[in-house]
């Protein structure tokens, strides 16, 4: 009798699972059908105002991204989202199909995840120089800010929270204004063993400031393509001293500069200790192609140290209005940040 009951329970569970699988497949097909109806009927789209079009696209994306897919499903969706334009999907498809290490694919290294129990907030004014952090500044006493320029609202907010901000920029002669918590020097940052009168490595500056034993620091860097050379030799131990790492990354096309391996190695290094929780195209109409990668030439990315937090799949639809100050009209042909979600659960 017990055996029969268990068998019956097994078949019920199996049938329930089959029903769920069929349900999800149907939901995918309906979502795709809905997408093509919208794409094929320009008259409908023209009659909608901007906000309505955005709502439709975001609703459709939310349905798609809430589901889990195998690689073949992801490739199908990838082709739909990129309007089946091979130049837009080919490199990303290659990254999905082939070994990421050998291809130097970076997508899985920068795919954002949700930080469980933490809220994202914007620090600084909504213009160049602002960054997204978590609403968590516990035990943070020190920040390093490389690439200051005229925009120091971000640094000011940190200073007002009681954080000492060590600011470095060899391209300016003075700060726009001062604060008791600002520590500025006309020095730039460079790679290890490449220092001179105007440039020093991160390691040299940390030692010079007596911060070798500090942790829970903030690292912010916007130094126009020099971030790669400055970060390539930074040790895992030193990266672990920073709670947040905030970067504006600059990518060259492969035809301009074959730096694919450099990009990959830097991002892989950071990925060992930190998880991306926010990402933004600073210029979503300016796309770089290098190796198997196709991404915005100017990418702002926020990392949090892994060891102190738990993470879940990021269901956010990007761009996020409250954090974005660029033109955020939906443009399905751009290198959409949401494409990174293809890599959220397979690596």
Instruction: Write down the pLDDT at residue 35.
Output: 55
Q: pLDDT by residue (tens digit) across 261-279?
A: 899 999 999 999 999 999 9
C-alpha 110/C-alpha 94 separation (Å) is: 17
Amino acid 44: pLDDT? 41
**95-to-37, 217, 293 alpha-carbon distances in Å:** 29, 34, 8
Q: Answer whether 347's CB lies under 8 Å from 267's CB.
A: no
Q: What is the pLDDT of residues 58-110, one digit of tens each?
A: 666 666 667 677 888 888 888 877 778 888 788 888 888 876 666 788 988 99
Residues of the chain with pLDDT under 70: 1-65, 67, 99-102, 255-257, 326-336, 345-347
Beta-carbon count within 10 A of 265 CB: 14
- Output the pTM of the full model: 0.81
> What tokens were used for 52?
């309505």
CA dist 267 to 120, 221, 232, Å? Answer: 22, 14, 9
Rounded distance, CA 61 to CA 316, Å? 10
pLDDT at residue number 41: 45
pLDDT at 94: 87
CATH match for 103-343 among 3.40.50, 3.90.550, 3.30.70, 3.30.200? 3.40.50
User: pLDDT at position 70, please?
Assistant: 81
Nearest to 323 by CA among 148, 163, 125, 184: 125
The pLDDT, as a whole number, for residue 212 is 96
Handedness of CA 175, 223, 156, 126 (dihedral sign): positive
In the prediction, which pLDDT does 330 show? Answer: 52
């Amino acid at each position: 009798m017990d055996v029969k009951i268990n068998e019956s329970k097994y078949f019920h569970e199996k049938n329930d699972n089959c029903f769920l699988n069929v349900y999800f497949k149907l939901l995918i097909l309906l979502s795709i059908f809905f997408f093509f109806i919208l794409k094929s009927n320009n008259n409908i789209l023209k009659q909608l105002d901007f906000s309505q079009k955005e709502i439709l696209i975001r609703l459709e994306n939310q349905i798609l991204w809430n589901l889990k897919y195998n690689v073949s499903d992801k490739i199908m969706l990838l082709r739909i989202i990129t309007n089946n334009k091979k130049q837009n999907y080919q490199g990303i498809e290659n990254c999905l199909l082939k070994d990421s290490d050998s291809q130097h694919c970076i997508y899985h290294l920068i795919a954002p995840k949700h930080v469980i129990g933490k809220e994202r907030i914007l620090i600084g004014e909504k213009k160049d120089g602002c960054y997204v952090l978590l609403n968590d500044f516990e035990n943070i006493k020190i920040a390093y800010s490389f690439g200051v320029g005229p925009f120091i609202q971000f640094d000011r907010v940190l200073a007002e929270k009681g954080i000492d901000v060590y600011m470095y920029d060899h391209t300016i002669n003075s700060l726009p204004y001062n604060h008791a918590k600002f520590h500025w020097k006309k020095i730039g940052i460079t790679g290890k063993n490449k220092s001179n009168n105007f440039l020093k490595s991160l390691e040299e500056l940390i030692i010079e400031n007596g911060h070798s034993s500090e942790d829970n620091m903030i690292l912010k860097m916007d130094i126009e393509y020099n971030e790669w050379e400055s970060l390539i030799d930074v040790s895992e131990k030193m990266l672990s001293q920073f709670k947040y790492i905030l970067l504006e990354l600059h990518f060259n096309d492969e035809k301009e500069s074959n730096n694919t391996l450099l990009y990959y190695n830097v991002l892989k290094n950071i990925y060992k200790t930190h998880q991306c929780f926010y990402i933004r195209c600073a210029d979503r109409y300016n796309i770089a192609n290098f190796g198997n990668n196709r991404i915005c030439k100017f990418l702002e990315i926020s990392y949090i140290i892994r060891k102190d937090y738990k993470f879940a799949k990021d269901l956010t639809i990007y761009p996020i209005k409250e954090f974005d100050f660029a033109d955020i009209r939906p443009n399905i042909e751009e290198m959409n940040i949401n494409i990174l979600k293809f890599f959220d659960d397979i690596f």
